[in-house]
Amino acid sequence: MQNKKYLIIIAVLAALLMGAIGVIVGMTMQQKMNTTSTDTGQVESETGDEAADGVWVDETDVIPPESNEQKAGQDQTVTDGSIGNTQNDTNVNNQNSNTEGTAMNGKTPVEAYGALQVKGNRLTDENGNQVQLKGISTHGLSWYPQYVNEDFFRQMRDEWNVEVVRLAMYTAEYNGYCVGDEGNKQNLKNVISEGVNHATNLGMYVIIDWHILSDSNPLQNKEEAKKFFAEMAERYQGYDNVIYEICNEPNSGAGWSDIKTYANEVIPVIRENDKDAIILVGTPNWSQFVNEAAADPITGYDNLMYVLHFYADTHRDDLRNTLQNAYNQGLPIFVSEFGICDASGNGAINVEEANKWIDLMDQNGISYCIWNLSNKDESSAFFKVDCNKSSGFTSEDLSEEALWYLDVLKD
């Protein structure tokens, strides 16, 4: 009887112990399930954001990507016509210390070089040492705004050694600045604001490009250009990293006298607020005839440079000789756009001629930006046509031109 009593007590204690273990296990499993659910939700959220950013934007429905800064200042942006939010830009302007992962001894390009200057035919840092910037141009901001995001700018800086990004804003093409409605005009200014903010956050240089093309003569939209650059210069006068490109590719008979007349009206508008920023001036014949600028340069202003563009399979020894001769005459030159295919932006890649150009520019310390950040079905596009990402690119996403250029930037 006594033994039976002990057996009952032991059985009761065992049951209580098993119940307690079951509660503990249940709580542990529930906690793990909650954690897994949270992690999965985060992954889904990030994937969703990337998919939203990476979808190709149809030219008939261009909507610029929105940063948190833009969302915060959206109402002000729409109602007062300004670019973004002044308070946010002020904060951004003081955030040049985001240096993790950079390849310049822990410094961003802007921390390394400071406010740029032009000395003779050279681009220099704030101490007068020659600087050669290497970077990438966007395609038209109306059509491919999705690549203007901070994650991708950081990847370009940290993984690709990109120091400058050119923001190409078409003026007369579909939804260009001078042909779209006021909403489109504001959208373009918003994308520029976002691009400048990202570059500034990351200590990179940024070019604001008035991308004339089908409006062959810059005088055609001179008054719009003056208003635009007055607004840009007032906004970014305190920024050491902003460069102004006032006419991309004058062409079809627009001579140096026309360009010089235009420049002599636009440059003072910029200098009224931004006294020292680098200003890039296009040259005749799709920015090839730098020899004409060398023979009759613009006077009365500091920190001016002149633009040369080339496409390696079309432009060879003759244009390289033109560049070298103009540079030897003392003309400061910036190659703000080039490709390694033919001048259409498409066709065969010519690595042999491209390497000759890189050698020439590197020997002279001439800065350059390659064309273009898009997944357009053309040889000069950086991304494969089926790549819909907006950041986090791998080698499998990149075009032949892009893979070649990343090797250039490693040197």
pLDDT at residue 241 is higher than 80 = yes
Shared domain check, 19 and 149: no
Give the span between the Cα atoms of 90 and 239, in whole angstroms. Answer: 10
Among 54, 75, 98, residue at a domain's last position:
54
Whether residue 314 is contained in a domain is answered as yes
Whether residue 59 is contained in a domain is answered as no
Give the mean model confidence (pLDDT) for residues 191-209.
98
Of the pLDDT bands very low, low, confident and very high (cuts 50, 70, 90), residue 321 is very high
Whether residue 381 is contained in a domain is answered as yes
**Percentage of residues in the chain having pLDDT higher than 90:** 74
**Percentage of residues in the chain having pLDDT higher than 70:** 75
Catalytic residue among 249, 292, 353, 378: 249
- The answer to whether the peptide bond before residue 372 is cis (omega within 30 degrees of 0) is yes
Whether residue 47 is contained in a domain is answered as yes
pLDDT for position 176: 97
Give the mean model confidence (pLDDT) for residues 379-405.
98
CATH number of residue 97's parent domain: 3.20.20.80
Catalytic residue among 337, 353, 378, 401: 337
Shared domain check, 90 and 49: no
User: Is pLDDT larger for residue 285 or for residue 21?
Assistant: 285
Over the chain, what is the mean pLDDT? 82
User: pTM of this prediction?
Assistant: 0.77
Whether residue 249 is contained in a domain is answered as yes
Shared domain check, 82 and 36: no
pLDDT at residue 232 is higher than 50 = yes
Give the span between the Cα atoms of 78 and 107, in whole angstroms. Answer: 36
Check if the beta carbon of residue 384 is closer than 8 Å to that of residue 375: yes
**In b/e form, how buried is each residue of 395-408, taking b as 16+ CB within 10 angstroms?**
eebbbebbebbbeb
Shared domain check, 50 and 69: no
Shared domain check, 203 and 95: yes
Give the span between the Cα atoms of 411 and 202, in whole angstroms. Answer: 22
Shared domain check, 117 and 4: no
Shared domain check, 316 and 225: yes
Give the pLDDT confidence of 273-299 residue by residue, as tens digits.
Answer: 999 999 999 999 999 999 999 999 999
Question: Of 7-16, 169-178, 328-337, which range is least confident?
Answer: 7-16
Give the mean model confidence (pLDDT) for residues 42-61.
30
Shared domain check, 313 and 172: yes
User: Is pLDDT larger for residue 329 or for residue 67?
Assistant: 329
Q: Is 249 a catalytic residue?
A: yes
Give the pLDDT confidence of 69-86 residue by residue, as tens digits.
Answer: 222 233 332 223 222 333
Quick one: tokens of 18? Answer: 């098993």
Shared domain check, 103 and 42: no
Shared domain check, 72 and 14: no
Domain with 20, as residue range(s), is 1-54
pLDDT for position 105: 80
pLDDT at residue 399 is higher than 90 = yes
Give the span between the Cα atoms of 9 and 26, in whole angstroms. Answer: 26
Shared domain check, 81 and 48: no
Among 34, 54, 74, residue at a domain's last position:
54
Shared domain check, 129 and 192: yes
pLDDT at residue 112 is higher than 50 = yes
pLDDT for position 52: 28
pLDDT for position 13: 52
Q: Is 163 a catalytic residue?
A: no
Of the pLDDT bands very low, low, confident and very high (cuts 50, 70, 90), residue 260 is very high
Give the mean model confidence (pLDDT) for residues 210-224.
98
Beta-strand ranges (E) seen in 49-185 are 117-119, 122-124, 134-138, 164-170
In total, how many domains does the chain have? 2
